Amino acid sequence: MALERSEVFKHDYYRLPPEARKAADKQIAQLLMDHTHPSLNLEGIVGRSGLFSARVNQRYRISLQFLPAGVILLRRVLDHDDLYRSP
């Protein structure tokens, strides 16, 4: 699988506290190795066909999209509630 990051994701990522960035890095690596791993708690975003979220930690989640040719597009990384309002 290949990975792409949206410009919005990059902006969100650099605004995270350092410990959340470290957790996000770990979960992104896990996503690339096995997107079905239970620690990701991957789930569809209700009302947003084709969009999913993955757990970073108890507070933060990543929204993502599976694109053709095995590409994962990271769209946002935000606080849980904020992400579901603006995936």
What is residue 1's predicted lDDT score, i.e. its pLDDT?
82
Contacts of 24 (CB under 8 A, 6+ apart): 13, 16, 56, 60, 62, 77
Task: Determine the pLDDT at residue 44.
Answer: 96
In order of start, what are the domains of the chain with their CATH numbers? Answer: 2-85 (3.30.2310.20)
Distance between CA atoms of 7 and 45, rounded to whole angstroms? Answer: 20
The model's pLDDT over 15-69, given as tens digits with 9 standing for 90+, comes to: 999 999 999 999 999 999 999 999 999 999 999 999 999 999 999 999 999 999 9
Q: Which pTM was predicted? A: 0.94
Residue pLDDT, tens place only, 57-86 = 999 999 999 999 999 999 999 999 999 999
Give whole-number Cα distances, 62 to 8, 46, 74, in Å: 12, 15, 7
Rounded CA gap, 23 and 27, in Å? 6
What is the predicted pLDDT for the residue at 2? 93
- What is the Cα–Cα distance from 71 to 1, expressed in whole angstroms? 6
Residue type (1 letter), 40:
L
